[in-house]
Amino acid sequence: MAAKALNKNNSAVKRIMQEAKELANDPSTDYSAAPLEDDIFEWHCTLRGPAGTDFEGGLYHFRILLPAEYPFRPPSLMMLTPNGRFELNTKICISFTNYHEELWQPAWGVRTAILGLQGFFPLKGQQAVGVGSIEYPPAERKRLAALSREWVCPHCKESNLALLPDPPAASDGSFSATALPLTVALGATASETASPVTSAETPSGEPGPAHTPLSPTPEVTAEPDLAAMHSIDTLMPSGNAAAAGTGPVHRRTAPFIARAAVETPGVAAAPDARRRAHKPPLLLVDGAICVLFVIAFAIICRRMV
């Protein structure tokens, strides 16, 4: 069938082509999906059965029908592979399909519908009731899961296993070989951090004598007279206190606050101030001397007369 002419300015066409490109560039081992060549509003998807359920190991092929108003209206889903959970060629009623348009959000897309359908496979009982839902015995579901791998889509002309091959199983040896370098690196880092003793190799390759890194010798500074010191807090890292010229540094537990002792000239002159406090005021002494001079002058003048 000839492909329909597409209006690339249509918002639905733009969105569908964008999602098709994203799914092609970011493939998953749990599903594969792509639009049909002759109608991009119809997608075919092959989905892997959820692990730990009756559908484990099964591959299920279904159709995704997108409306012309997509993404503002939800898609419809129709199962094609016999599975024992959903009816065939029937639109399935789940929360993100055309049966519940009020729950659909334009931010969702084809990937959302695929992952949502995978999550609905294991539901049982009342949660599994809905249009297009069936409930087969577990043994029958497991039998259908085994047969589903070779099921061929009439339109795609390929089996489910060809459309979604099994991912390569990672053996225990390959996993250990991959994880070993990281484990060794982490172990080496921990040992180097915990032990301060290191050994050097000689040019011949033999280990040399072990040596212990020397810790820096703390600088000893003379303690100033505490009576003439005034402690202040400086908002700077402790390593910068000495460089800033604030004097000897007394460290405390706070990581970025150091207590520095800074000499205060006003405090250093306190003893002199106390001595001056015991002396009589200079003005009173001068006044008394002047009075004595006046009295002596008066007496001399009186005798002369």
**Enzyme catalytic residues:** 93
DSSP string, the chain: -PPPPP-TTSHHHHHHHHHHHHHHHS--SSEEEEE-SS-TTEEEEEEEPPTTSTTTT-EEEEEEE--TTTTSS--EEEE-S--SSB-BTSB---TTSGGGGGG--TT--HHHHHHHHHHHTT--GGGG-STTB----HHHHHHHHHHHTT-B-TTT-SBHHHHSPPPPPPPHHHHHHHHHHHHHHHHHHHHHHH---EEEE-TTS-EEEEE-PPPPPPPP-PPPPGGGEEEEEESS-GGGTTTTT--SEE--S-TT-EEEEEE-HHHHTHHHHHHHHTSPPHHHHHHHHHHHHHHHHHHHHHHH-
